Structure 1
Amino acid sequence: MPREVREREMLDAAVATFGQRGYRAASMDEIAELAGVSKPLVYLYLNSKEELFTACIRREADALLAAVRAGVVEPGLAPDEQLWSGLTAFFAHTAENPDAWSVLHRQARTHGEPFAAEVTRMREELVSFVTGLLRDAARATPASPDLADLGDRDVVGIAQALVGAAEALAGWANETPDVSAKEAASTLMNFAWTGLGNLMDGERWPK
């Protein structure tokens, strides 16, 4: 079997084990057994439990970022529709990959460096991406002086708040039965884009 295929199978097994058992409780024996290989082979490919966990974080962070970016590639979408598509892609990916989201959102954040640094990198890229969407929205909405007059610090702050809210909402959605990606995206769009005031007046996502 080619090395990349074998390594992918090991990472799949590791993500499932870390996501369900936690970093400390997960054992290399469990991961090797789930991957259908010997423990020495896991060490040969990935050196240590720490390096294996780091590789899992990097792979799953890259997959999540790619899913969000792919969600807004459709040309001609209005800024609010781009944000809606990106949020829907984010929540769909985290729902479809609960073990990966557990690794990123729970395990990596609670076990110190170097794991937390990998998640910080992912979060910074998400914030940068959302910041770009918001700046595009401001440029595309000249009729709204409040939006057009947003400064860089305001835009970055709003992007930070959106990403943080999305992370918290994904954790809630994955633990709450029957919450769809569209429902989670609608909740955040109604709060962040429509605004509580307009929401009280009956404006809701999806339109």
Structure 2
Amino acid sequence: MGAVKTKRMPRAVREQQMLDAAVQIFGQRGYMAASMDEIAELAGVSKPLVYLYLNSKEDLFTACIRREAKALVEAVRAGVRPDLAADRQLWEGLGAFFAHTARNPDAWAVLHLQARTHGEPFASEVTAMREEIVAFVTQLILAAAREAHRDPDLPEREVAGLAEALVGAAESLAAWANATPGVTARQAAATMMNFAWAGLGDLMAGRPWSPPEEQQAGVQVGQASAATA
């Protein structure tokens, strides 16, 4: 065990040190394997002090999730300039997302992997963060779609599913990028943009892909069967 620091400092500063240490330990070792002894030692405090400030391992983990979720949402929002064209807004939002998750891999592991696999109430904290990001992306796409189609009343449901799919894909890609040496945040954002904007661009231009009509498909199958009979 290392020597515990005794230097006095404001409670808020000390608490952030504990959260920094906890995010690192939880992110690298996992919630179940992480110990309060490790967290206290890394933070340079005694274990009783961690309990005094943050009550329990469960409360400490929840505090980590809330802090990192807030930081991620703020980073994405701050990265988007509303005066830009739709594709540039999406590009900057994705860039901010991947840059933040790349700079904070332990925090992303806590949010994307650990919090989701240990049940309530941890999963609900991440769900709240995700819903906020999906809502933000929905509004980005919706504003662009309404402008492209010159339809200020275009219903939100028309793009809500696209935003949900986009955020889910970005989350998985961030986990892959953090685990793959040599992949930069910019490269990950470009990959996501190429994946997403090809379809979104056609949607904005009024060229959405449509599935084949079921009746027509049935007619074609029937014609093919008759021809081979």
**TM-score, L = length of structure 1:** 0.89
Give me the whole-angstrom Cα distance separating, in 1, the residues matched to 2:200 and 2:89. Answer: 20
CA apart distance, 1:104: 0.2
Paired position in structure 2 for 1:201: none
The 1:10/1:90 distance shift into structure 2, 3 A limit, reads same
Gaps of 5+ in 1: 199-207
Aligned residue among 96, 115, 118 for 2:122: 115
Q: Give the match's secondary structure for 1:140.
A: helix
CA contact (8 A) 2:21 2:39 kept: yes
**Pair 1:71-2:79 in alignment:** yes
SS in 1 for 2:148: coil
TM-fit CA distance, 1:154 = 2.7
Aligned pair partner of 1:169 in 164, 169, 173: 173
* 2:188 match: 184
In structure 2, do the counterparts of structure 1 residues 150 and 187 end up closer, same or farther at CA, with 3 Å as the change threshold? farther
The one-letter code matched in structure 2 to 1:106 is: L
Aligned equivalent of 1:101, options 100, 104, 108 = 108
Residues 94-122 of structure 1 show CA distances to partners (whole Å, capped at 9, x for unaligned) of 00000000000000000000000000000
Match of 2:205 in 1: none
Tell me the matched-pair count.
194
What residue number does 2:164 align with? Answer: 160
Question: Which of 1 and 2 has greater Rg?
Answer: 2
Residue matched to 2:214: none
State the partner residue of 1:25.
33
Preserved contact between residue 146 and residue 154 of structure 2 (Cα < 8 Å): no
Report the alpha carbon displacement of residue 149 of structure 1 after superposing the two structures with TM: 9.0
Query: How many percent identity over aligned positions?
Result: 74
Q: Is 1:194 the counterpart of 2:202 in the alignment?
A: no
Secondary structure (helix, strand or coil) at the match of 1:192 reads helix
- C-alpha offsets along residues 146-183 of structure 1, whole Å, 9 cap, x if unaligned? xx896422311001000000000000000111111111
User: Are 1:4 and 2:12 matched, yes or no?
Assistant: yes
* RMSD between superposed Cα atoms in Å: 1.8
Q: Is the 8 A contact 2:141 2:163 kept in 1?
A: yes
Q: 1:139 aligns with which of 143, 146, 158?
A: 146
Deviation (angstroms), 1:197: 10
Letter of the structure 2 residue corresponding to residue 58 of structure 1: R
